[in-house]
A and B are shown apart, each in its own frame.
Chain A
Amino acid sequence: MIDFQSGYILRPVNPVFIYFSLFCALLLNLLPIGNYGWVPDWLILCIVFWNIHQHRYVSVITAFILGLMMDVHNSDLLGLHAFSYSLVAYVAISWHRRIVALTVLSQALHLLPIFLLVSLFPVLAHWLLSGELYWWALTGAIQALIEAMLWPLATRVLLAPQRRPIDVDHNRPL
């Protein structure tokens, strides 16, 4: 796959690394930080990243299963995160050709609506079910902004193994 930022051809991805990174993101989400709206959702960042770059390995079904786990952890209605994660995974996969061609910063801007959808979905679902909208629960928007700001970092970290040169020439480094 071509890295549109540098123009180099990337090394093939290691599926083990994909699943390892998803597992790490899940663990980060399980950190007992407390009930704060702005804490970034590492898992959705990771899922969206792999949906855009390697959608053959990380599909809607993966997003659904991980969302189910987050539902149980958050003591939410079963299916709330599962649905929003898989919805977002679908959107990300259908946008992936357009998004990889952009620069990293405009990628982050493009992905902001996706992150907003994930953060505000529980509030909206609750609004539909009970007819009450909680304005203070809209702090999820801050979470989405933070996730969008973390996107360049995610690109750097998660693409690093693929950006390694194939044969390192110690005498003539690039």
Chain B
Amino acid sequence: MLIDFRFKALDPIRNNVNWILRPLEYVMMAPRNAFEATSEYFTTRSTLDQENQVMKVRQAELSLLANQSEFLMVENQNLRELMTLQKQVPFKTLPVEILFNPPNPISQRIVINRGSNDGLKLGNPIANDSGILGQVVRLYERSAEVSLLEDRDFAVPVQVARNGLRAAVFGAGRGNPLELRYLPVASDLEVGDILLTSGIDGVYPPGFAVAVISKIERNVDKNSSNVFCVPIAAVNRYRQALAFLYDPQLDAKAAANNKSASGAPLTNTPGRRQTRARGMQ
């Protein structure tokens, strides 16, 4: 256990056991999948009609937005060039399917059906249509384990959408609300503020919704405020998600890599968070 915890030396064994175990897991997922398929097959015509209607409206809205956003994107890139700022890095997305939720009382993880063979990398963010879900923390050839936002000490650098205030959201364990730590009392926050990824860590692309502030406790004595948030994406609900194959070359991470090449050892590889010196993974 210590060898695995400290040195990550047992990964080959884990990979081999996983290679044996994965087909069995697929076999045992068959009854659930069959059940879901049949219940979907027997959905009534009216619900399908309703769904269709909603989808059509949504599609019209989205296509309008997409036209607009392309224009805005070009304008943004041009302005950035004019101001000699860094360009936004484009990235690909990969549709993934959530296979199952491993029964483990201590961590909150999911297993997805894409792995290193599909181009997934350690530290890639996973999101669904409404916001960020988590991050790839262990990679196999054809599957990967993803830590969810709710996982203990899982940190995401965010920005308040309303005023651009930067902070970090931390997971507080299963079933507990997320926390916004290390903020002074006087910080300009309100209940209902939306937190977006800030992109300064080079792991998450900027501008994706993460959480909504649900409760603020201001503690004047200690000059700190306890801010609790709720994840925007339904973390434990859907089966489909998207992986962002995001790898910014011109970012803080690249700078850190250069620094490590010149001597100092690089400890903060993506996916292994530095805040987590203690505790199990």
Contacts and interface: CB of A to CB of B under 8 A. Distances in A.
B145 A75 contact: yes
Contacts of A74: 102-104
A126 interface: yes
Q: How would you classify the secondary structure of chain A's contact residues: helix, strand, loop or mixed?
A: helix
Given A72-B18, A77-B280, A125-B1, A39 B106 contact: no
Contacts of A129: 5, 278-280
A152 interface: no
B10 A78 contact: yes
Interface in A1-36: 26-27, 30-36
B12 to A, nearest CB: 11
A30 B175 contact: no
Interface string B31-74: 11000000000000000000000000000000000000000000
A169 interface: no
A44 interface: no
B25 A30 contact: yes
A126 B101 contact: no
A134 B280 CA distance: 13
Interface residues on B, range: 35 or more
B23 to A, nearest CB: 10
A79 B7 CA distance: 14
B1 A79 contact: yes
Interface string B1-36: 101110000100110011011001101110110000
A76 B5 CA distance: 10
A50 to B, nearest CB: 20
Interface residues on A, range: 35 or more
Nearest to A41: B103
A75 B111 contact: yes
A33 B103 contact: yes
Contacts of B28: 27, 30-32
B166 interface: no
B90 interface: no
Contacts of A30: 21, 24-25, 28
A80 interface: yes
A80 B107 contact: no
Contacts of A68: 13, 17
Nearest to A83: B1
Contacts of A131: 278
A37 B31 CA distance: 22
Interface of A: 26-27, 30-37, 39, 68-69, 71-80, 83, 122-123, 125-126, 129-132, 134, 136-137, 139-140
Q: Which 7 A-B pairs have the closest CB atoms?
A: A32-B100, A130-B279, A137-B105, A79-B1, A78-B4, A30-B28, A72-B17
Interface of B: 1, 3-5, 10, 13-14, 17-18, 20-21, 24-25, 27-29, 31-32, 99-109, 111, 138, 145, 173-175, 278-281
15 contacts: A26-B24, A32-B28, A32-B100, A34-B103, A71-B17, A74-B102, A75-B107, A77-B280, A77-B281, A78-B4, A83-B1, A123-B106, A129-B278, A131-B278, A134-B106
